[in-house]
Amino acid sequence: MDEVDVNPDVHRATEPDEEQVLRELYGEPDADGIFRGEGQALQDDGTEQAGPAQEGPA
């Protein structure tokens, strides 16, 4: 447990565009600032995927 990151801001974005990427992938963060995975699924070209997200190869 000595190597676990206990910084209270560990979930915050560290790169300028990281927060935007997280928003696109997971939707808006909750009240605690944590991205919970409620966003739109994106296709390989970065556009939104129609319908529910598919897992694995199509």
**Structure confidence by residue, pLDDT tens digits, 5-51:** 777 887 777 788 888 888 888 888 888 888 887 655 555 665 655 54
Its domain, for residue 33, covers 14-45
Structurally, how many domains does the chain consist of?
1
pTM attached to this predicted model: 0.41
Pair 20, 27: CB distance under 8 Å: no
Q: Which of 37, 34, 30 is nearest to 9 (CA)?
A: 34
Pair 33, 45: CB distance under 8 Å: no
- 23 is a domain residue: yes
- 5 is a domain residue: no
- 50 is a domain residue: no
Alpha carbon distance 15, 43 (integer Å) = 23
- 1 is a domain residue: no
- 30 is a domain residue: yes
End-to-end, the C-alpha distance of the chain in Å comes to: 40
